[in-house]
């Protein structure tokens, strides 16, 4: 069948979904069947210009109750990037079983002019009758899903009311029998040891250290497939899970309540209540402003992947606020220092950077293009940037937290720069915002359509008294020093040229260059050498710079003001940020974690 040359090409994406993981490893499964049927239908529509995309959007083992599915998320990103013209599914419930989620998807499809086709349910979403039929089908799909969920919950609740554990591997300290859970005496002794140590030390990491020093490991249990799990050293998370599990006091955890189990408890009720009271006191606070006006809590991460939280300290009656990296276990194991940023300074910098982003028409247009906005709409929205910056400047401080939570996806803090990720959907809405109410965005749309625009800010915000921002180390006697006299002389002449500028501000660059006995262009290059990173300058003075670094390279380079780029440009390694191991052992850190 030939393609009608007058028909425009319609790029069709096939989306398939299967709720369970069964038979996914087989060559022929439900996903393959759905794809083959949809592919055959697309071929039958070739005369209309339909073309199947080679990209696969298959969600195996994902429920249709929500939109948090990797293949669906990739499909929505490709739609917003303009790579898809039509979405083809075998049945509409493969796309979603929720009427509310379907309405959100259709809104996005309409905005991007995407056609939705269901092979086994003939309908056309271009008219009101087709939409009504589609909504009726989705209503029954959602009803069926809710019935299945209710039956499953009722079955689980009934088993728990009778004191029975429903499926899964038995918890640590127990083994599964025909009559239910039975105590494993060796593991039960470890559980009692964990509770005893927690009540003594009042810290999870201290309990973990004590458990490891005693040589205790998690039990080895077999899954239904015969795979062995466990047998490893206990982490602080494992210790926390044991202390918080009511199974050890003879109860079974339910939704918002617990049920009396028929199994024998391992610890006493008194020890359980004391441990839960202590655990409640040690519960981490959420990343919020903590009764301050700092609006970035919950959005900040460092460039090593650690969450940053607001930390408050009091000294001589004054409150000091800082954003500090979380004490992640892997960073303890690698002896990584926590990042610490002055909260007032970082808030001001981020606020100014976002306002500058709105005022920069070029960056704003790039972000809007990522959303799929072009032509007249792109021109109209890009002209609203400066007005949006003014509205942001006029927003009361108490409303900034909600506004930034909607507009900003996250902010990554690095040693030399910041990376700010803006939600493209909310960017468009903020540009059209009337400013008559608090801007909160639409969180329900984020999982299914959350393209983000990233821009960087070259700034040093990570500071600490024990972690200076200048990487200057004293020269040791063991260092092999061979200073390059030409390089050293160049640095000294640059310092002299800078002092000349400071002492004779009324002179022109020609007069300054004449005083320095050089040409104006050479004088300008000398001045730029004063912006070299301090650790590069000290390496030149000590003679420990890379052997490839010469006077000609330094003098003729267009030296950037970014110190991190300078180090890469001239062959220097980035400074390491680590804590000496002895600083951690006193705080319950397990020494063998350094291996």
**Alpha carbons 452 and 77: distance in angstroms, whole number:** 10
What strands, in cross-sheet order, belong to the sheet with 318-325?
308-315, 318-325, 340-342
The residues that bridge with 467 in the sheet, in sequence order, are: 464
Greatest CA separation for the chain: 98
For residue 155, is pLDDT > 60? yes
At 370 the three-state DSSP class reads: helix
Give the residue among 123, 121, 125 at the shortest CA–CA distance from 93.
121
Give, in degrees to the nearest 5, the angle at Cα 418 between 395 and 581: 125
> Span 159-176, mean pLDDT?
82
pLDDT digits (tens, 9 = 90+) for 238-276: 888 899 999 999 888 887 788 888 889 999 999 999 999
Give the residue among 256, 85, 248, 251 at the shortest CA–CA distance from 171.
248
For residue 125, is pLDDT > 70? no
Higher pLDDT, 114 or 129: 114
Higher pLDDT, 287 or 459: 459
Mean pLDDT across the chain, nearest whole number?
82
At 495 the three-state DSSP class reads: helix
Lowest mean pLDDT among 232-236, 321-325, 464-468: 464-468
Question: How buried is 21 (Cβ within 10 angstroms: 0-12 exposed, 13-18 middle, 19+ buried)?
Answer: exposed
Residue ranges of domains in the chain: 10-146, 174-281, 300-458, 485-570
For residue 577, is pLDDT > 80? no
Name the pLDDT band for 590 (thresholds 50, 70, 90): very low
Q: Is the separation of the CB atoms in 61 and 20 below 8 Å?
A: yes
**Alpha carbons 495 and 560: distance in angstroms, whole number:** 18
Name the pLDDT band for 300 (thresholds 50, 70, 90): very high
Name the pLDDT band for 594 (thresholds 50, 70, 90): very low
Question: How buried is 339 (Cβ within 10 angstroms: 0-12 exposed, 13-18 middle, 19+ buried)?
Answer: buried
Lowest mean pLDDT among 35-44, 128-137, 524-533: 128-137
Contacts of 484 (CB under 8 A, 6+ apart): 540, 543, 545, 549, 550, 551
What is the structure's pLDDT at 589?
A: 43
Q: How far from each other are the two terminal CA atoms of the chain, in whole angstroms?
A: 65
Start-end of H helices in 121-263? 128-161, 185-201, 204-213, 236-244
Q: Which residue has the tokens 């660059």?
A: 509
The pairing of strands 86-89 and 180-183 is unpaired
Q: Is the separation of the CB atoms in 431 and 381 below 8 Å?
A: yes
**Alpha carbons 169 and 206: distance in angstroms, whole number:** 27
Confirm or reject CATH 3.40.50.1390 for domain 10-146, answering yes or no: yes
The CATH number of 174-281 is: 3.90.1750.20
Higher pLDDT, 537 or 578: 537
Tell me the percentage of the chain whose pLDDT exceeds 90: 22
What's the pTM? 0.53
Lowest mean pLDDT among 146-155, 352-361, 496-505, 539-548: 146-155
pLDDT digits (tens, 9 = 90+) for 458-503: 887 887 544 545 556 666 665 566 789 999 999 999 999 999 999 9
């Amino acid at each position: 069948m030939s393609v009608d040359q007058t028909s425009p090409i319609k790029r069709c994406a096939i989306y398939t979904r299967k709720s369970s993981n069964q038979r996914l490893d087989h060559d022929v499964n439900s996903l393959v069947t759905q794809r083959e049927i949809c592919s055959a239908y697309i071929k039958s529509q070739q005369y209309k210009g339909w073309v199947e995309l080679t990209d696969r959007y298959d969600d195996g083992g994902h429920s249709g109750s929500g939109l948090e599915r990797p293949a669906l998320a990739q499909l929505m990103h490709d739609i917003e990037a303009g790579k898809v013209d039509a979405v083809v599914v075998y049945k509409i419930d493969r796309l979603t079983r929720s009427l509310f989620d379907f309405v959100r998807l259709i809104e996005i499809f309409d905005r991007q002019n995407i056609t939705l086709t269901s092979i086994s349910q003939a309908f056309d979403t271009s008219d009101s009758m087709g939409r009504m039929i589609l909504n009726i089908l989705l209503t029954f799909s959602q009803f069926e899903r809710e019935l299945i969920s209710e039956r499953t919950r009722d079955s689980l609740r009934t088993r728990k009311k009778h004191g029975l554990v429903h499926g899964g591997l038995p918890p640590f300290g127990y083994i599964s029998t025909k009559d239910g859970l039975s105590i494993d005496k060796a593991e039960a002794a470890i559980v009692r040891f964990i509770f005893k140590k927690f009540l003594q030390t009042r810290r999870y990491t201290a309990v973990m250290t004590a458990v490891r020093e005693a040589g205790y490991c998690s039990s080895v249990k077999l899954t239904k497939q015969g795979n062995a799990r466990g047998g490893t050293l206990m982490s602080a998370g494992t210790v926390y899970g044991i202390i918080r599990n009511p199974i050890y006091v003879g109860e079974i955890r339910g939704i918002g309540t617990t049920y009396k189990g028929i199994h024998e408890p391992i610890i006493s009720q008194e020890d359980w209540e004391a441990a839960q009271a202590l655990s409640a006191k040690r519960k981490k606070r959420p990343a919020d402003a903590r009764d301050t006006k700092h609006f970035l809590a919950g959005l900040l991460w460092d460039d090593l992947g650690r969450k940053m939280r607001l930390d408050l300290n009091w000294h001589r009656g004054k409150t000091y606020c800082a954003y500090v990296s979380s004490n992640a276990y892997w960073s303890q194991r690698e002896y990584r220092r926590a990042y610490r940023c002055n909260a007032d300074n970082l808030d001001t910098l981020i606020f100014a950077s976002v306002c500058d982003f709105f005022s920069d028409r070029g960056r704003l247009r790039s972000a809007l293009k990522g959303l799929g906005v072009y032509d007249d709409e792109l021109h109209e929205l890009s002209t609203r940037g400066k007005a949006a910056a003014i509205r942001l400047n006029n927003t009361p401080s108490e409303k900034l937290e909600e506004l930034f939570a909607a507009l900003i996806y996250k902010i990554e803090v690095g040693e030399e720069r910041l990376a700010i990720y803006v939600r493209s959907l909310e960017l468009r809405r903020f540009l059209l915002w009337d400013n008559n109410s608090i801007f909160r965005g639409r969180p329900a749309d984020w999982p299914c359509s959350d393209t983000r625009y990233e821009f960087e800010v070259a700034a040093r915000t990570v500071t600490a008294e024990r972690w200076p921002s200048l990487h200057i180390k004293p020269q040791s006697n063991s260092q092999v020093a061979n200073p390059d006299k030409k390089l050293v002389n160049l640095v000294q002449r640059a310092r002299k040229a800078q002092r000349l500028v400071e002492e004779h501000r009324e002179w022109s660059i020609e007069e300054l260059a004449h005083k320095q006995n050089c040409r104006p262009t050479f004088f300008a290059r000398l001045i730029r050498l004063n912006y070299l990173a301090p650790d590069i300058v000290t390496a030149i003075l000590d003679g420990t710079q890379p052997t490839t670094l010469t006077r000609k390279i330094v003098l003729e380079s267009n030296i950037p003001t970014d110190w991190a780029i300078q180090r890469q440009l001239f062959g220097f390694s980035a400074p390491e940020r680590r804590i000496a191991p002895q600083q951690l052992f006193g705080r319950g850190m397990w020494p063998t974690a350094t291996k």
